Amino acid sequence: MTRQLKPRTIGVLIFDDFQILDAAGPIGAFEMPMRGMKPPPYELSIIAPTPGPVRSSSGAVMMAGPIPRQPKFDTLVIAGGWGTRAAMIDPRVQALIRAAMKTSRRVCSVCSGAYILAQTGVLDGKRATTHWGRTPDFQQRYPDVKLEPDCIYTRDGKVWTSAGITAGIDLALALIADDLGEEVARRTAQELVVYHRRPGGQSQFSALLDIERTEGRFTPLLGWMRERLEDPLTVETLAAQSNMSPRNFARAFTAETGVTPAKAVERLRLESARERVEHSTDSIDVIAQDVGFGDPERMRRAFVRAFGQPPQALRRLARTETVAAVTQAG
């Protein structure tokens, strides 16, 4: 892709109690091409409703300039964090987003920064994502948004959104690829020592942590399930293990973990299968049998639903990224 001679202006909005990686991750990604290309393809501006030192939720401080009266950023990136609840109702922030939707080529959010976009109404009817842990609350607050909770990032017209925290780097790499081409994005990923295309495709597979970290009565059951993935883990089997009736078990499990028993079993099998697909030489057929999918075609369909790619494609991707990382290190 032909690079523009004039730097593209990137505005990064922060606010009190922002999540520092939501801002620092994309900033670091955009910095890499700025180091190696002449003239620099990007010009970064960190802005905040109250300029000066802005305190993140970790206590670390980042310096920011004021929100321009007439913002003309090529791309606006909005951080997330605990401070989004106050920022999303700040009239200065809302005015910035409304202006950017008219004048900017792209408007983006990282993690819970999607709340700030949604509050202004710009996500209504659009595909979007946010941190998986915010999904139930976000869906309740903004039912008109087409939330895709498993995605690493989404793009709907000029609006881009990303999942939690480090997914902001994935988003920035996608923006760089859109601007400067895949090769520049690949080199940027190598400099950052991250995946150019994260294994697992575009699925926000960290959603599995939602059930793994359950601290209630089903925690032992989840461990028991993981050790018996090759078995037929039916609702009846799981209910019996929990000393509950199938109906009460299904209702209680879903209420506590946020997923149905069948979906939990599939996610655990996908986690185990993905690990072996990417890091072992076992055949796809053998992996499908060992983790309980049985039929490799059934496993392939599950991979496509969860990751957007079949097992063979993820295996090729993992090997390509490994070779690239080794080559870069050498």
User: Pick from 26, 8, 29: which is nearest to 186 by CA?
Assistant: 29
- pLDDT of res. 189: 86
- pLDDT of res. 42: 97
The answer, yes or no, to whether residue 193 has pLDDT greater than 80, is: no
- pLDDT of res. 207: 42
- Is the backbone of residue 146 left (phi > 0), alpha (psi -120 to 50) or beta? beta
**Both tokens assigned to 191:** 């400099």
**Average pLDDT, whole number, for the chain?**
87
The answer, yes or no, to whether residue 91 has pLDDT greater than 70, is: yes
Least confident of 2-11, 44-53, 58-67, 155-164: 2-11
CATH of domain 8-192: 3.40.50.880
- pLDDT of res. 283: 94
Report the CATH architecture of 205-318: Orthogonal Bundle (1.10)
Residue 221's φ and ψ, nearest 5 degrees, are -65, -40
Q: Please write the tens of the pLDDT for every residue from 194-232.
A: 765 554 444 555 444 455 544 567 878 888 998 899 999
Q: Please write the tens of the pLDDT for every residue from 233-251.
A: 999 999 999 999 999 999 9
- pLDDT of res. 201: 44
- pLDDT of res. 117: 98
Least confident of 38-42, 53-57, 110-114, 309-313: 309-313
Cβ(22)–Cβ(60) under 8 Å?
A: no
DSSP H or E segment with residue 127: strand 127-128
**Residue-range domain boundaries for the chain:** 8-192, 205-318
Q: Please write the tens of the pLDDT for every residue from 96-136.
A: 999 999 999 999 999 999 999 999 999 999 999 998 778 88
The span from the CA of 103 to the CA of 143, in Å, is: 27
The answer, yes or no, to whether residue 326 has pLDDT greater than 70, is: no
Position 173 confidence tier, pLDDT thresholds 50, 70, 90: very high
- pLDDT of res. 8: 96
Position 305 confidence tier, pLDDT thresholds 50, 70, 90: confident
Strongest mean pLDDT among 76-90, 119-133, 152-166, 275-289: 76-90
